[in-house]
Amino acid sequence: MATMRAVLLKSFGGAENLYVGNTIRRELKPQDIEIRVMYSALNRADVLQRMGKYPSPRGESEVLGLEVSGLVERVGADASFWSVGDPVMALLGGGGYAEYAVVHRDHVMPVPRGLSLEKAAAIPEAFLTAYQLLHLVAGEPRGQRVLIHAAASGVGTALVQLSKLAGLNVFATAGSEDKLSAVKELKADCVINYKTEFFDDVILNATDNKGVDVILDCVGGSHWQRNANCVATDGTWVLYGLLGGANIDPSCFPLSTLLRKRVTLKGTTLRSRSVAYKSDLVRLFVRDRLSAFDTGELRPVIDRVFAMEDIVEAHNYMSKNRNIGKILLKITGVAKT
């Protein structure tokens, strides 16, 4: 059986358990393609999986990695609209930290004109998640005020750009001046350092106490009360992460706040969604937003690139929360495209 190099895991736990070794290349199903991976990217889900808290969905590779860019290597019998050698980027259920990745044909996108494979690797998970949150889960907000937490993260930088493209008034939080400056460059209307300011007070003062119509929240517990304070009447609050904890103190958050404001609270993830859902998401994103990378209206934000052999250093770097945008892994030598 054919083998490949990949980032493997000795046991669940810290980053020191990651290493580069050999594993079996996955078999192709008729609707699959195999990509020779040039770049992958780190996501918080990778850290959770490494720690044994977020297993890969059934049938997916147990190798970490939810997105890649590279060249089509093999094509399944029912995936012939892709050709060997095509430069592509893809959303994966797992398996991105490897020399080859197998993915459903409909979860693959062409690399936008003028973008390198390096830059393309920063698009799939971040921008598809952001597009899903804003346009599918939050319900196509138009001309409204939106609050984006962790706005300097990979998904956050994508959300800021997509929100501005949709004509929204963007309030964005981050925890350092460097991050706030980067988010401001992405045209956020109001940036707030949540470590030095009460973001709810800033928002209520700026909106004549009306608040924000949409909250896109990957923090959870630690921001819960302030989110409740500044969400508008009839607002939508989308929870898609728990960086600030999964629990809240019920004495500090009466449900009457949500009831009184008629707030819609939605929870969502992407990785565990069905093949059909992800296929529709990719199709809509390609139709509506992929060309914006050609015009410069959207751009991937990359913090730094690590070699696959430096995977321990890469994961330790992510744990420090210093990155602005995506952290990439260079997997193999980059071919010209």
Whole-angstrom CA distances from 80 to 7, 43, 72 are 29, 30, 11
Q: What is the DSSP letter of 137?
A: I
Give φ, ψ of 218 to 5 degrees.
Answer: -105, 10
- So what's the pLDDT on residue 252? 67
Dihedral (C-alpha) 82, 85, 88, 92: value to the nearest 10 degrees? 80
Predicted confidence pLDDT, tens digits, the chain (337 residues): 799 999 999 999 999 999 999 999 999 999 999 999 999 999 999 999 999 999 988 889 999 999 999 999 999 999 999 999 999 999 999 999 999 999 999 999 999 999 999 999 999 999 999 999 999 999 877 779 999 999 999 999 999 999 999 999 999 999 999 999 999 999 999 999 999 999 999 999 999 999 999 999 998 778 888 999 999 999 999 999 877 777 777 766 667 888 999 999 999 999 989 999 999 999 999 999 999 999 999 999 999 999 999 999 999 999 999 999 999 999 975 443 3
- So what's the pLDDT on residue 325? 97
Q: Which residues pair with 265 in a beta bridge?
A: 237
Q: What does the alpha-carbon distance between residue 176 and residue 194 come to, in Å, rounded to a whole number?
A: 9
Q: Which residues pair with 172 in a beta bridge?
A: 148, 191
- So what's the pLDDT on residue 336? 39
Helix, strand, or coil here: 144?
A: coil
Task: List, as own/partner pairs, every contact residues 274-277 make where C-beta atoms lie below 8 angstroms and the sequence separation is at least 24, other chains included.
Answer: 275/104, 275/106, 275/107
Alpha helices in 253-320 (DSSP H): 256-261, 275-288, 291-295, 311-319
